[in-house]
Each structure stands twice: as C-alpha cells, then as structure tokens.
Amino acid sequence: MTMHKKIVNDFRKQQVLKIISGCINNFNENEIYKTVRAATLGEATYIDIAADLKVISLARKLTNLPICVSSIIPQQINTCVDNGVDIIEIGNFDAYYSQSMSFTMEDIKNISRKVRQNHPSITICTTLPYILSLKEQLELAKYLEFIGINLLQTEGTINSYHTHKHVNLSLNNCHSTLLTTYNLSKIVNIPIISASGISINNAKVAMSYGASGLGIKTAISKIKNIDDKVKMIKSIKSIMSSNIQLDRIPLHID
C-alpha cells in the first residue's frame, strides 16, 4: 500500500494536519474555496472534502495538497478513486447522526473490509463512531489494523440527541476524543488522527496523548477571513512541531 509522500513525511515529524472542509454533504463552493486555499497557504498536510466529482475538481484546481474524500458508500468511493483522490475516509458520520442514524461495530467492519478489498493500494482512514462504547472502539481499531486500514480517526460527541442517549454527559466533544486517542495509542501501531473539537487550545494535549496527527474543522471554519484562517493553521502546526516525541512516531506508515 502506497501513502502520499507528503503524508508520510509529516507523520514521521508528527506534524500531520488535516483540514476538513465540512461534513460529507458540504457542497458550498465558496466555503470549500476558502478552506482549501487556507489549507494550502498554511501548509497543512492534506484536505478532507465531500466525495463529489465537482468538489474534487474544484479542489484540484486550488491545491496540490493530497485530497481525502469522506464517504460510507462503496460505489461513491469507487468513483472517487477512479478520479485520482489520494485518501479515502470511511466516515465522517455527523451528517447521519443529525438524521437519527447510527452505525454498529459490524457496520464499520463490513464497510472497511469491502473498501480495502476493492482498493488494496489506496490509503484508507476509518473514523471510529463515538456512539460505540470505548471498549467497542478499541476492539474495532484492532480489527481495522488487522485488515490493513492505514489510519484511524477519533470522533467526539457531535449530535445532542446521541449525546444524551449514548454517552456520559460529563464528556464533551473534546474530552471524549482525547480519551479515545489516549487509549488507542496504547493498543495499535497505525497512526491516529485526533479530531472533533480539536483547536489551538488542546492541540498539544492531543499530541501528548498519542495522536499522530490532527483533524481540524470548526476551529478553521468559524474564521471568515482567509488570511486569519492561514494564521490559525500555521499556529496549530507550530504547536505540533514543538511537541515532537520521537518514541511516538507511528509504525507501518509506508
């Protein structure tokens, strides 16, 4: 399996920063333009966009950064791979939670296995749904590593309906993703992207808890000016570079 050279290099430096343009149904070209442009100027590692050919085409015109698309639909993923994307993310799930949909551990296993079988060479990241218990997330993570998934991404509590039904209310978005990150780092040897509620205020904590990289959305999207977005991205990168711990560089990323 081949991983994009820029991603490999940033993983080795523990400076992988993924900028997320929105959830899987964000097709707003103005928002996508600002996010992708800022990610490029801020020297992020890669961008995460909707699995849509028009959005992919727009991103390609704006950047040379590796492109990740998020989807849970195998046929949609196939089309994106055929159109040259660099990374597939199985997730993110917030658009589905808002429709009162949820996913079991077996659902994620089946989707991940099918996508890996269909695309043995592409880099795949699977998001671990926060609605699974921590025990289930850890079990799922070990299975995903076993079948050859390259990266894991954490997810914090996103939707209030599911938060009240499934998780301890004392855990907010950031706390739950940090808890998962810490525990994952103890049991897997593949890189962990810590996402959901990650910002300049907790980026260093996430890295110290075992994250190999960060996924940022709200901390960038809430900023309207491109120049200010760029400054924020560079600030987060600077924090990450000051937190390098060589003994934590992940294994098996080539």
Residue range 188-228, pLDDT digits in tens: 999 999 998 899 999 999 999 999 999 999 999 999 999 99
Convert the chain into a string of H (helix), E (strand) and C (coil): CCCCHHHHHHHHCCCEEEEECCCCCCCCHHHHHHHHHHHHHCCCCEEEEECCHHHHHHHHHHCCCCEEEEECCHHHHHHHHHCCCCEEEECCCHHHHCCCCCCCHHHHHHHHHHHHHHCCCCEEEEECCCCCCHHHHHHHHHHHHHCCCCEEECCCCCCHHHHHHHCCCCCCHHHHHHHHHHHHHCCCCCCEEEECCCCCCCHHHHHHCCCCEEEECHHHHCCCCHHHHHHHHHHHHHHHHCCCCHHHCCCCCC
Is the confidence at residue 1, as pLDDT, over 90?
A: no
**Stretch 120-136: mean pLDDT, rounded?**
95
pLDDT-based confidence at residue 23 (cuts at 50, 70, 90): low
**Stretch 23-27: mean pLDDT, rounded?**
74
Nearest to residue 154, comparing CAs of 123, 176, 124, 139? 176
* Beta carbons of 190 and 152 less than 8 angstroms apart: yes
Q: Which residue has the higher pLDDT, 251 or 71?
A: 71
Tokens of 28: 């707003």
pLDDT in tens, 44-68: 999 999 999 999 999 999 999 999 9
Task: Return mean pLDDT, the chain.
Answer: 88
* pLDDT at residue 163, rounded to an integer: 41
Tokens of 98: 């808002």
How is the chain split into domains, by residue range? Answer: 5-248
CA–CA gap between residue 10 and residue 136 (Å, rounded) = 29
Tokens of 173: 């978005």
CA atoms within 13 A on the CB side of 123: 23
pLDDT-based confidence at residue 247 (cuts at 50, 70, 90): very low
CA–CA gap between residue 230 and residue 39 (Å, rounded) = 7
Is the confidence at residue 159, as pLDDT, over 50?
A: no
Between CA 195 and CA 56, with CA 181 as vertex, the angle to 5 degrees is 30
pLDDT in tens, 85-127: 999 999 988 777 878 888 999 999 999 999 999 999 999 999 9
Return the CATH fold of 5-248.
TIM Barrel (3.20.20)
* pLDDT at residue 243, rounded to an integer: 62
* Beta carbons of 152 and 107 less than 8 angstroms apart: no
The residues with which 192 forms a beta bridge, in sequence order, are 152
* pLDDT at residue 172, rounded to an integer: 58
Amino acid at 149: I
Q: How long a stretch of residues is the chain?
A: 254
Nearest to residue 132, comparing CAs of 106, 113, 170, 100? 106
* pLDDT at residue 253, rounded to an integer: 44
* pLDDT at residue 25, rounded to an integer: 72
